Amino acid sequence: MNEALLARYDASLRGLARKDRLRTLSPRAGLDFSSNDYLGLAASKRLGDAVAAAIARGTPVGATGSRLLRGNSPEHEALEADAAAFFGAERALFFGSGYIANFALLTTLPQKGDLLILDELAHASMHEGARAGRAEFKLAAHNDIDAVEDAITRWRAEGGMARIWIAVESLYSMDGDRAPMARLIALADRHEAFLVVDEAHATGIWGPDGRGLAAAFEGRDNIVALHTCGKALGASGALVTGPGTLCDYLVNRCRPFIYATAPSPLMAVAVREALAMLSDEPQRRVQLQERVAFAGRQLAERCGVKPSGSQIQPFVIGDNRRTMAVAAALQTRGFDIRGIRPPTVPEGTSRLRISLTLNVDEADISAMVEALVEVLAST
């Protein structure tokens, strides 16, 4: 092996290890306190039966090409029609993943000369899209409406004349807190701006029928939403919903849509069934919210943690090494909780990301909190 060829990569990995930031793959094991399968749909019989029935009637596994070639199947079109109706949007487009969809939106819709303002804690895919796109972009302090407005005012004062885009998550993936949606909509209206809302961690759980935290505003000309299908919906892919004109523009100009093989038609079947389940089985959302409230009380009483009020509960430790040691100790005790370190979260805020799903019950939550108290005392 020519070690010189790989030297710089090896040095980078050793540097990450020195900072306690080296990532490795580990298998799933123990009680689920780390996945995004919030409603427990991924292994549900109804979802599996829908896919099995599709296979039995001849639905292919592979799409065989891009949507603009032979990859556009009846299953894709049926899903998009149902999704547009479900979310209250004019159109929907199905992408292969939430990461690709975010990247695609922000590299395609904001134009040269536009301004894109991104919440500093928005998902990495939004940051990548902003950096790779044609619009000028600025970061705004997390959930700070005044900071967004100040950026717009300065840009206009400096001669900016084109469109403004604001991109946020409705429920943030590492802090579990919500964006101030009503104030963001008012701000966007005031400045004739577009608002891109990543509903990844809200879809299926929050809003009427699980339609998300921006549900009241979908269907407007200045709203584009992204609904990830690989979290509460238990499948994979992502649905972009918005005005028909913008969806047509994506079909014609969005390279990650035009040049990618379409998602599997079987996955479109699974997502379509998951959307139906949101309407048919509202008890899943009720049960999850009860577990969220229960876990919040337990963590507040036993650990002094402020509840996030959502299914994502951060437990900030700070130090990278201690964070990973606590996570490893909990995993050894049978609780699958993962440590999250920079650059995923800001420096000095390494944390446990405790995810609440219907894959655990209140007894499991109590046992997890008890183990956490014991591990913290000894680590």
> Does residue 2 register a pLDDT over 80?
no
pLDDT value at residue 26: 84
Task: Return the bridge partners of 353, or none.
Answer: 314, 338
Predicted pLDDT at 331: 97
Q: Is the peptide bond before 343 cis (omega within 30 degrees of 0)?
A: yes
Which of 91, 98, 76 shows the shortest CA–CA distance to 204? 98
Specify the pLDDT at position 4. Answer: 87
DSSP 335: E
What are the structural domains, with CATH classification, of the chain? 23-38+311-378 (3.90.1150.10), 45-280 (3.40.640.10)
Segment 224-245 mean pLDDT: 98
Cβ–Cβ < 8 Å for 225, 212: yes
What pLDDT is stored for residue 176 in this prediction?
96
Percentage of the chain modeled with pLDDT above 90: 96
Beta partners for residue 32, in sequence order: 336
d(CA 234, CA 232): 5
Give the residue numbers marked as catalytic. Answer: 36, 123, 169, 173, 198, 201, 231
Helix count and strand count (H, E) for the chain: 13, 12
Q: For residue 113, is pLDDT > 80?
A: yes
Whether 193 and 164 have beta carbons less than 8 Å apart is answered as: yes
Cross-strand bridge partners of residue 338: 353
> Which segments of 119-240 does DSSP mark as H helices, in order?
124-132, 145-157, 181-190
Question: Which tens digits make up the pLDDT trace of 136-186?
Answer: 999 999 999 999 999 999 999 999 999 999 999 999 999 999 999 999 999
**pLDDT single digits (tens) 61-97:** 999 999 999 999 999 999 999 999 999 999 999 999 9
| Residue 28, pLDDT above cutoff 90 | no
Cα 204 off chain centre by: 12
Which pLDDT score, from 0 to 100, does residue 27 have?
A: 84
- Tell me the pLDDT of the chain averaged across its residues: 96
Average pLDDT over residues 126-139: 97
Residue 57: which pLDDT band, with cuts at 50, 70 and 90? very high
Reading the block at residue 369, the tokens are 């909190």
pLDDT band at 379 (very low <50, low <70, confident <90, very high): confident
Q: What is the pLDDT of residue 1?
A: 64
Cβ count within 10 A of residue 95: 27
Is the per-residue pLDDT at 200 higher than 80?
A: yes
C-beta separation of 265 from 53 below 8 A:
no
